[in-house]
């Protein structure tokens, strides 16, 4: 892991005691901490991209936490987010995960639990940033598909010459589909291999991420040419690898 003093955490939380308590404890652990007391200020600070991770309350003045997350992902900002929410907001938590949050914690939570989650997300994210620099020889180079170029080494993807940014989950889904191109990959396989943990309740989460991935990869999302649905079974990466890849 990188030096913690380089690792900035943005805490978006309106309860003053919790906000300052989190700041204090995270600083004691060696993190740099930025705080925001409402949703708008939180979004503004999140947009500048300084934070390596965001702790996001859901019930916030100014702008609800889910809106902050939605805006952030819409502009392509993929900073990992851990939702911290009150009890009884299970539906919001699920929605948050579908919008691209990385984990969630229910208040009240202990410091040990919080730190474990933060470290796990940072570890996964840093691994995700390196996604593609893996064991498969073909995954270390550039792969060209019609109108799509995937550079695993630089981890950049261009569509019609324009660079697009993928979230970690989207990237891992794409990687898995491309590794198995021409074959059906089931939602269960994607859940197991990409998420690797069980607290995501539905395969709908996979479908939502596939929809977001398609928006970025496909010219016409209604008629996808790269990631196609195999009815009742899952998804298949359909494009042909071009010569010279």
Pick 14 or 41: Cβ nearer Ca ion: 14
**Nearer Cβ to Ca ion (36/166):** 36
Find out whether 42 and 60 touch, Cβ atoms under 8 Å: yes
Q: Which spans of this chain sit near Ca ion (rule: CB under 5 A)?
A: 14, 57, 59
Contact between 103 and 120 under an 8 Å Cβ cutoff? The reply is yes
Minimum CB separation of residue 86 from Ca ion in Å reads 7
Minimal CB distance to Ca ion: which residue? 59
Helix 90-98 with 204-217: angle, nearest 10 deg: 30
Minimum CB distance to Ca ion smaller for 57 or for 92: 57
CB of 82 to Ca ion, least distance (A): 15
CB of 119 to Ca ion, least distance (A): 24
Answer yes or no: are the C-beta atoms of 53 and 9 closer than 8 Å. yes
Alpha-carbon span 205 to 228, nearest angstrom:
17
Residue 91 CB partners (closer than 8 Å, separation 6+): none
Contact 209, 176 (CB under 8 A): no
The least distance separating Ca ion from the CB of residue 114, rounded to whole angstroms, comes to 16
| Closest CB to Ca ion among residues 17, 162 | 17
């Amino acid at each position: 892991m990188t030096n913690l003093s380089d690792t900035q955490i943005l805490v978006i939380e309106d309860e003053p005691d919790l906000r300052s308590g989190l700041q204090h404890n995270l600083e004691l652990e060696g993190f740099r901490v930025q705080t925001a007391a409402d949703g708008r200020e939180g979004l503004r600070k999140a947009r500048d991209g300084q934070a390596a991770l965001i702790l996001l309350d859901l019930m916030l003045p100014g702008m609800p936490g889910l809106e902050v997350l939605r805006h952030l992902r819409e502009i392509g900002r993929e900073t990992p987010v851990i939702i911290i929410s009150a009890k009884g907001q299970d539906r919001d938590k699920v929605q948050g995960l579908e919008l691209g949050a990385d984990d969630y914690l229910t208040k009240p939570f202990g410091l040990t639990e919080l730190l474990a989650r933060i470290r796990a997300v940072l570890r996964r994210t840093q691994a995700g940033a390196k996604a593609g620099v893996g064991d498969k020889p073909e995954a270390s180079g550039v792969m060209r598909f019609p109108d799509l170029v995937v550079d695993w080494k630089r981890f950049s993807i261009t569509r019609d010459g324009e660079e697009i940014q993928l979230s970690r989950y989207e990237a891992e889904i794409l990687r898995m589909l491309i590794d198995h191109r021409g074959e059906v990959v089931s939602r269960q396989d994607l859940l197991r291999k990409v998420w690797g943990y069980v607290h995501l309740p539905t395969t709908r989460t996979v479908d939502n991420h596939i929809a977001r991935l398609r928006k970025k990869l496909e010219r016409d999302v209604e008629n996808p040419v790269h990631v196609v649905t195999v009815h009742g079974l899952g998804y298949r990466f359909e494009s042909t690898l071009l010569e010279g890849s």
